[in-house]
Amino acid sequence: MARKKVGPPTAALTAQRAARLYKLLTLLGDGPQSRRLLLTRLKLDVRGFYRDLETLRGFSIDVAPGFDTRYTLTGSVDDALAKLPFPDPGLNVRDALQLCNGSSPAHRRLKQRVSAFLQNGTGPKPR
C-alpha cells in the first residue's frame, strides 16, 4: 500500500495545540533540548511529541534530532513563528505579536486574545 504524502496540515490548529507548538519552538530557540526535557515541559507523551514534530514539518518548520539525542530548531525562532499559524485565520504568531502593540480598543482586544494564547508559552509576551 502506498504511503500518503505528508503536506501542510489542512485543518486549522486548535488554540491549545498552537500554544503548545509555540512553546516547543521557544524552548528550541534557547538551544538544543533533550527529548525528555521537552516531554516534561510540554506535558506530552512520546507519541504526541512526534505528532507535533510532524505538524511543524507540515508548516515547513524543521526540528532536527541531534547526534546526542537533543533536538534543534533548524533556522531562527522568528522564521519559525512566521510559519506557525495563529488560531485566527490569516495570521501567524509573529504578525499577531506585532499587531498587539497598538493602543486602540481593537489592539487591546487582540492583546487579550494573544495573551490568553501565550499564557503557557515561554517566549516574548505582548507589551
pLDDT digits (tens, 9 = 90+) for 79-120: 999 999 887 666 788 888 888 888 888 888 888 888 888 886
- The whole-number pLDDT of residue 7 equals 46
DSSP string, 5-60: PP-S--SPPPHHHHHHHHHHHHHHHTS-EEHHHHHHHHT--HHHHHHHHHHHHHTT
Q: How confident is the model at residue 9 (pLDDT cuts 50, 70, 90)?
A: low
pLDDT digits (tens, 9 = 90+) for 20-76: 999 999 999 999 999 999 999 999 999 999 999 999 999 999 999 977 789 999 999
pLDDT value at residue 89: 62
What is the C-alpha separation between 69 and 112, in angstroms, rounded?
Answer: 38
**Residue 1 pLDDT > 90:** no
CATH class belonging to 15-118: mainly alpha
Q: Where are the domains of the chain?
A: 15-118
Look at residue 77 in the predicted model and tell me its pLDDT.
95
**pLDDT at position 126:** 52
- Measured between alpha carbons, how far is residue 8 from residues 14, 36, 49, 109 in Å? 15, 27, 17, 29
* pLDDT for 47: 96
Instruction: Provide the pLDDT confidence category of residue 121 given band limits of 50, 70 and 90.
Output: low
**Residues 82 and 76: beta-carbon distance below 8 Å:** no
* Residue that the C-alpha cell 503536506 belongs to: 7
The cell numbers describing 25, all together, are 519552538
Residues 6+ away with beta carbon under 8 Å from 92: 81, 82, 83, 84, 85, 86
